[in-house]
Structure 1
Amino acid sequence: MATRKKKKVSAKDILKTEEINKEKTEQKIKSDSTQPVTTSRNLSTNHKWYVLNIQSGYESSVAKAIKQRVEASKLEKKIKDILLPTQKKIVVKEGKQDIKEEKIFPGYILINMKLSPTTWELITNIDGVKGFVRTDKYPRPLPQSEVDAIMKFMEVEQPAYQASFSIGEAVKITEGAFADFIGSVQEINAEKGKVKVLVSFLGREAPVEVEFSQVAKL
């Protein structure tokens, strides 16, 4: 009876096989992670707030695109609201005050919707949307208490100040009794819009408190 010779397997062949298996596994993991989650376990029968991860700088345009897609698809009953959390800030630059809206969570927007295969596909196929914020594989609803807190924070009537300088930075006082004095920023009070500047006066250093609008960067 003839004996069948076994094919000799080299270390090179083993390594090649392992690389192929590794590549197949990585492709499967990547494929699984990008698949829409449409199982009955996570589909929502009620409207809930979800967080979308958006390409930074495109939050406003993405929010607008979602609204347009929702209206065009007549899905207003399933996707009720889109929230881009912002807060008014008083920015002082070169002695001038300007009020602007600043994003509270750059790169994210909130959406109130019923999660379904249809709404999932509509949202995730919009340019600039990176995906839902998830717990494991499933989108994580945001507790209503957290949404209420964000909305309350947005409704604060008195705008907060935003300093355009930092501690230790050299500045020049432009108004008041110490106009034209040069010093360094010692303390910043963003709530009151005031800054303490350490200046040299009568041979010693003294802190002077002035408004944001009364100092300028060198």
Structure 2
Amino acid sequence: MSEENTGTSLEQAMIDNVQEQAAEAVEATEEVQQPQEELSAEEKEAAEKEAATKAAEAALGGGSDEAEVEGEGAGEASASADADAAAAADAEYKSRLRAFTRELKKQPGQWYIIQCYSGYENKVKTNLDMRAQTLEVEDSIFEVVVPVEQAIEKKDGKKKVVKRKLLPGYVLVRMELNDAAWSVVRDTPGVTSFVGNEGNATPVKIRDVAKFLMPNDPTVSPEASAADSEGEQVVAMPEKEAAKAYAHDFEVGEAVTILSGPLASVSATISEIDPETGKMQGLVSIFGRETPVELSPTEIERIS
């Protein structure tokens, strides 16, 4: 072999060696980079999942907060609407009361309260009407009223109209007070006395009388009234559903405030509770005398 061929072979071998080393270096680099690229992909995928999870949680949390805000807003709106309705009803009631009081003031005479035996209100009215005619004092005794509220009560699946006295033990009389009229009233069987200062007959404020005589229903005429077979004059009241028995935690002896009706804002003391029905009876001071009245859990509140 010539020197020239020998040099060429050595040169070619060196070139091949360098190429092989370069190829090995490239393969080594690729092997090192491959796991790094795969790890980066895994990290990227994990990061994407974590971001999606956080986004979902944020969306859910935001929706919950929005729902709470909407719920609170709806609750506040409902409470505001109830307050507005109650204020409107109170304003309407006071307006009707003022108008009804003005009408009563136009009538002759003054209103007096006579006290009688409990349960004898109807008989006192009937007897007083008859005595006023017989003893010819109709020009002084104009009107005798036993205020009664009508309600519909369901019993044995049937509706029945019941009447409740608004002033048990009392009768209202519109009259001109003079000796003859006073004597007729005072001597009527069942009457115990006039209500007044130190036993003297004292006129009652017309506004107070109006609270018991004014119909609850604005569509009912104030003059509308009826007399039953016993001579009881029924003040024209709407036939509302009688108070049902409710479960409650009121106790005997507890002091409460009446929220509606002629005795609204008056304090009462619970005297009886029916353990089976939950119905309550309370004592109310009316014209200086404790008078029993029926109480409904929905129409009273505790005195704090």
Give the TM-score of the pair, scaled to structure 2: 0.39
1:93 aligns to 2:155 (yes or no) = yes
Is residue 50–residue 141 contact of structure 1 (8 Å, CA) maintained in 2?
yes
Greater share of helix residues, 1 or 2?
2
User: Which of the numbers 134, 139, 144 marks the counterpart of 2:196?
Assistant: 134
Q: Give 2:236's aligned residue.
A: 155
1:167 paired to 2:247: yes
Q: Distance in 2 between matches of 1:170 and 1:135?
A: 42
Query: Contact between 1:50 and 1:139, CA under 8 Å: does it hold in 2?
Result: yes
Q: Say if 1:88 and 1:160, in contact at 8 Å, map to a contact too.
A: no
Residue 70 of structure 1 aligns to which amino acid in structure 2? A
Q: Which has the higher contact order (CA 8 A, sep 6+)?
A: 1
1:51 and 1:110 in contact (8 A); partners too: yes
The structural deviation recorded for 1:114 is 1.2
Deviations for 1:11-62, whole angstroms, at most 9, x for unmatched residues?
Answer: xxxxxxxxxxxxxxxxxxxxxxxxxxxxxxxxxxx71100011111111111
Query: Do 2:147 and 2:167's aligned partners in 1 also have CA atoms closer than 8 Å?
Result: yes
Structure 1 unaligned blocks of 5 or more:
1-45, 172-186, 191-218
Matched, 1:114 2:176: yes
Report the residue type matching 1:159 in the other structure.
K
Deviations 1:43-87 (A, max 9, x none): xxx711000111111111110000000001111110010011001
Q: CA separation in 1, counterparts of 2:122 and 2:237?
A: 21
Partner of 1:206: none
Q: Is the 8 A contact 1:90 1:159 kept in 2?
A: yes
CA distance in 1, matches of 2:122, 2:196: 22
Contact 1:87 1:103 in 2 (8 A): yes
TM-score normalised to the size of structure 1?
Answer: 0.53
SS in 2 for 1:149: helix
Contact kept? 2:154, 2:160, Cα under 8 Å: yes
Amino acid at match of 1:155: A
Q: Which has the higher strand share?
A: 1
In 1: Cα distance, 2:190 partner to 2:206 partner: 26
Coordinate RMSD, CA, aligned: 2.4
2:121–2:146 contact (8 Å) kept in structure 1:
yes
The equivalent of 1:76 in structure 2 is: 138
For residues 1-218 of structure 1, the aligned pairs below 5 Å read 47-153=109-215, 154-163=235-244, 165-167=245-247
Unaligned runs of 5+ in 2: 1-107, 216-234, 249-274, 278-295, 300-304
For 1:193, the equivalent position in structure 2 comes to none
Structure 2 CA distance for partners of 1:131 and 1:88, relative to 1, 3 Å: same
| Larger CA Rg, structure 1 vs 2 | 2
8 Å Cα contact 1:79-1:111 kept in structure 2:
yes
Provide the rounded CA distance (Å) in 1 between the counterparts of 2:203 and 2:156: 43
